Amino acid sequence: MNTLIIYASKNGSTEKAAKLLYNKIEGEKSIINIRVEEHPNLENYGTVILGGSIYAGNIQKEIQNFVEKNLDLLLTKKIGLFLCCGMEENYKKQLEQSFPKKLLNHSITNQYFGFEYNKNKMNLIEKALIKLVVKGKTNLSNILEDNIERLALDIQGDIKVDQ
């Protein structure tokens, strides 16, 4: 099984989570940051795992555009999906907004990978917004390794996971 992980990250937490996932995948594998690296040739992969993070309700445009452009081909692959986002309670809703219904229905599994708030990487407006949400604590890290492990196990098994 040749596996490709494609992710987008603004402040680094999705990148951290995607790399943890990469280390848990066996066999031939590649990992691509879609915001900075060349788009991959999907023909080379049987399994594709896509993820990004949520800003004001939306996943990064680069992931949206990539999925839109390659949807037919992605629907021929084994698919896993993940998100990093601060509001776990909105995970399902934000997942549905991030990926087309066809791809969600086709996917084997999806997981919530947690979040980080890194004030050193935020601009002033972002800091002000987040201050309201997390009440002053702007350096928080909550990357969920168990969920990352779960996705790695699900995608390497053969059974579709009901969530």
User: Which residues are within 8 A (CB) of 151 and not within 5 positions of it... i.e. 6 or more apart?
Assistant: 21, 49, 80, 82, 109, 110, 111, 113
Summarize the chain as % helix, strand, coil (round to 5).
45, 25, 30
What is the Cα 43 distance to its own chain's centre?
Answer: 21
Closest distance of CB 22 from ligand FMN, Å: 15
To the nearest whole angstrom, how small is the minimum distance from the Cβ of residue 41 to ligand FMN? 25
Q: Which is nearer to ligand FMN, 7 or 45 (CB)?
A: 7
In the complex with ligand FMN, the residue whose CB is nearer, 125 or 159, is: 125
CB nearer to ligand FMN: pick between 124 and 159: 124
Residues of this chain that interact with ligand FMN (CB under 6 A) are 9-14, 53-57, 84-87, 90, 94, 115-117, 122, 126, 129-130
Shortest Cβ distance from residue 76 to ligand FMN (Å)? 28
Kindly tell me which of 77 and 148 has the beta carbon lying closer to ligand FMN: 148
Report whether 85 contacts 112 (CB < 8 A): yes
- How would you write 66-112 as a 3-class SS string? HHHHHHHHHCCCEEEEEEECCCHHHHHHHHHHHCCHHHHHHCCEEEE
Q: Please say which residue, 10 or 24, places its beta carbon nearer to ligand FMN.
A: 10
Least CB distance to ligand FMN at residue 124 (A): 11
- Quote the tokens at residue 111: 């997981």
Cβ at position 34, least distance to ligand FMN in Å:
12
